[in-house]
Structure 1
Amino acid sequence: MNSVSQRFFAFGALCALIGMAWGIVMSATGDHSLSPAHGHLNLIGFVASSVFGAYYALSPSAAASKLSNVHFWLAVLSVIVIVPGIVMALTEQGETLAKVGSILTILSMLLFFVTVLRNRVGG
């Protein structure tokens, strides 16, 4: 497996572990007020990263491109920014970080879209 794929899978697994622990804490305390942030951590951090990792594992030419590394770090940064940003928005501490995280997240997906268009699976 190529390194960018491995990094996406490792980051996705880390996000899943943190998301699961967070879910257990919410359940134990009965406080689900931050569930939108928890959901974004699981969806963007685990699911999207796992899909990205699978694509790069199946597309060596895409994984070998310099854009794959840019994509990885942009995807990581988007999770690091959007999840606390959503927490801040939910706790009425401002929405700026959530907005910045949203832009980073959509840029990450746009970069993935461009990568998919430029590279065929298996190539």
Structure 2
Amino acid sequence: MAIKLIKISALYFLISVVLGLIMSITHDYRFTPVHVHMNLLGWTSLTLAGILYYHFPALGQSLSGKIHFWLHNIGLPIMMISLFLLLYLENDAFGMGAAIGSTVTVLGIIAFVWNICVNLKAS
């Protein structure tokens, strides 16, 4: 699980950097929220979770670790795609997708925090 999280985070990093480059070239910064959320919740958070799960394997093997993995990696793409479409098409209908994706991601992060509090132990 740790390696999967780090590999997924690298994809988020690549996507967010390319999006940042496109915004800089076009001077169109409407997608800054997508860029920032992909960097923080995709690249940074998933990399740190992957490192923690690597150094403390019990975290990745726990039920809460698995719940975190799946909810975070289902919710975040839904949130990012919906937010992108909301901003690109200026259609408020995509706000519901962003809200659903955000909620699923937050539930995954709650599982992550629970996992850390309950299962992280000194060796």
TM norm structure 2: 0.89
C-alpha distance in structure 2 between counterparts of 1:61 and 1:54, whole Å = 13
Amino acid aligned to 1:18: I
Which deviates the most, 4-13 or 58-67?
A: 58-67
C-alpha distance in structure 2 between counterparts of 1:26 and 1:122, whole Å = 44
- Which one has the bigger helix percentage? 2
- What is the aligned partner in structure 2 of residue 65 from structure 1? 62
Match of 2:29 among 32, 50, 66: 32
Unaligned runs of 5+ in 1: none
Unaligned runs of 5+ in 2: none
Alignment of 1:95-110 (within 5 A): 95-110=95-110
- 1:88 Cα deviation from its structure 2 partner: 2.9
Q: What root-mean-square deviation, in Å, do the aligned CA atoms of Structure 1 and Structure 2 show?
A: 1.5
Matched residues, number? 120
Q: Among the aligned pairs, what percent are the same residue?
A: 27
Amino acid aligned to 2:48: V
Query: Which digits, 9 at most, give the CA deviation of each residue in 1:19-49, with x for residues without a partner?
Result: 1111111111111111111111111111110
Query: Which digits, 9 at most, give the CA deviation of each residue in 1:81-120, with x for residues without a partner?
Result: 1111212332432210110011011101100011011112
- What is the aligned partner in structure 1 of residue 118 from structure 2? 118
C-alpha distance in structure 1 between counterparts of 2:122 and 2:2, whole Å = 14
- What is the aligned partner in structure 2 of residue 10 from structure 1? 7
Which stretches of structure 1, 4 residues or more, deviate above 3 A after TM superposition?
none
Amino acid aligned to 1:72: F
